[in-house]
Amino acid sequence: MLNSQLFTGVWLRWQAITLGERFVCANIICIPIWWVLGLFEYLPFLLLGMVGAYEVWRYGKFRLTSPQLPVITLLVFGMYQLGRLLVLRVVYFQYGTINISDILILSFCPAIWLWYIQSNKIKIRLEVVAWACTISVLQIITFWLLLQFVIPETVFWPPKLRTVSGLLTGKGVGEANKNYYLLPFLARTLIEDFNRFSFFFIFPEFFAVFVGFISLVALEIKNRLQSSLLLVACVFLLFLSATRIVWVALPLVIGLRYVFIALSKRWGPQVVILLVAIASFITFSLPPATNAIFGKVTGSIEAVNSVRADSSEVRFEIYRQTWLGVLEDPFWGYMSKGEAISATKSSSVGSHSAILGSLLYRTGVFGTLMFAVFWVSLFLWLYATRAERPLIAFTMMSFYTLVAPTLALVYDMPISSLLLLLSIAIGQPPLKTQRKMRHA
């Protein structure tokens, strides 16, 4: 009954939600503004600064309790990277593409955010996040309609409109992804009259990750009509993103979600094991079924890769040379990306994979093991507190894990951590807090 007081018709009642929910809701709705400002690269730090300033003003300090294992391991991972960087610069006078600000934003900033969420038991109601995500999807679809029928794409392509931060810094076309508005991202069509879009984000791949997050939120909505409509809209937007790994990973995560639900029921484990046994027998014991299944899987992979065949060839070469680089220096890795594979600046050795490139190639086996300990400890903490949260936190971790082999942006994109942190914070606030907010 408390949640029924959140809305007046289709509108969210601002006075009925907590301050944290207002903060989250406002930032999701204001994604187009952050895009216009061109500040996505610094957004986690800026938002953390806002929260820190409020904490000091309201309480006289930044409220933190003793850090738990996920926070400690992520901080250790950040200190390991920072220490290597300082040794290379001070002792060996070597400079790479990774700098101190990258380490602070990609490792230390998420660690402090997670520390703050755990310390203050931050809970953001799913209904609030779902409403904000619905508004965001409507913004994107409206913008797409304008681009299709009103605004000519020559306004954006080739890149000539600078973001606000691009104007202030004066950076040129070499930094087009960060300092220019790119719509569409590439001047090519996947299917006639359909271009590849990044919309309010720097890369179409991260746009796909964002839409994947909204898809997983849609699955948690109890209103089936709203859930279905939001999911259908997300499928359409994922088509526009042309991000193949998300096309493959998201259905797998959705399937895993229903397996989790089945396992939570009395007869769930037995039914799942029985189905797996039957599927395994049919697949591996009956030759006609085996041939049909393997043929279908192979055909699906080839169909997905054929969407952008030239991109697939470049990626395979990137992965091959990256793996060779890892074998040359497996323990410590490199603090920079390698040479370019194609004319595209971003297509270089050590790119296009969070696991092979961002972790193994750039941090070595030692750094990768540290990050793995953090990832496992985070999952165990989520499992220990599973009664307080829906499945979105687990499905997002699964989603990030599945796309990580061929998508570096789940680690390298600063705002990617914000989506994971938000999924961790989604839950039901304590009843006492809800009662207070009813009288706000």
Spell out the per-residue pLDDT of the chain, length 440, in tens.
345 588 887 888 888 899 999 999 999 999 999 988 888 888 999 999 999 999 999 999 999 999 999 999 999 999 999 998 888 777 656 666 678 888 999 999 999 999 999 999 999 999 999 999 999 999 999 999 998 889 887 787 777 778 888 777 776 555 556 677 777 666 454 555 567 888 888 888 999 999 999 999 999 998 889 899 999 999 999 998 888 899 999 999 998 888 777 766 655 555 555 555 555 555 445 555 445 544 444 444 444 444 444 566 778 888 888 888 888 888 888 877 667 666 555 677 778 889 998 899 989 999 999 999 999 999 999 989 888 889 999 999 999 999 999 899 899 898 999 999 999 999 876 655 444 444 33
Q: Backbone phi, then psi, for 286, in 5-degree steps?
A: -110, 105
Alpha-carbon 348 to chain mean position: 22
Beta carbons within 8 Å of 12's beta carbon, 6+ residues apart: 6, 25, 128, 131
Q: What does the pLDDT read at residue 300? A: 43
CA distances from 77 to 41, 188, 306, 323, 373 (A): 20, 40, 38, 22, 10
Q: What does the pLDDT read at residue 126? A: 94
Q: What does the pLDDT read at residue 94? A: 62
CB–CB of 426/385 below 8 Å? no
Take residue 221 and report the two structure tokens written for it. 């909505």
Helices (H), 150-267: 164-169, 176-179, 204-220, 224-241, 244-263
Q: What does the pLDDT read at residue 74? A: 97
Beta carbons within 8 Å of 208's beta carbon, 6+ residues apart: 238, 241, 243, 246
What b-and-e string marks burial along 101-133, b requiring 16 or more CB atoms within 10 Å of the CB?
ebbbbbbbbbbbbbbbbbbeebbbbbbbbbbbb
Beta carbons within 8 Å of 98's beta carbon, 6+ residues apart: 81, 85, 335, 336, 362
Torsion (CA) 395, 398, 402, 403 in degrees, nearest 10: 60
The amino acid at residue 128 is V
CA–CA dist 85, 200 (Å, integer): 33
Q: What does the pLDDT read at residue 2? A: 44
Residue 402: HSE in the Cβ half-sphere, 13 Å Cα cutoff:
21
SS (H, E, C) 25-61: HHHHHCHHHHHHHCCHHHHHHHHHHHHHHHHHHHHCC
Q: What does the pLDDT read at residue 344? A: 58
CA–CA dist 414, 425 (Å, integer): 18
The amino acid at residue 148 is Q
Torsion (CA) 312, 318, 320, 325 in degrees, nearest 10: -170
**pTM assigned to the model:** 0.86
| CA gyration radius, the chain | 23
Q: What does the pLDDT read at residue 76? A: 96
Take residue 270 and report the two structure tokens written for it. 């037995």
Residue found under tokens 């216009």: 36
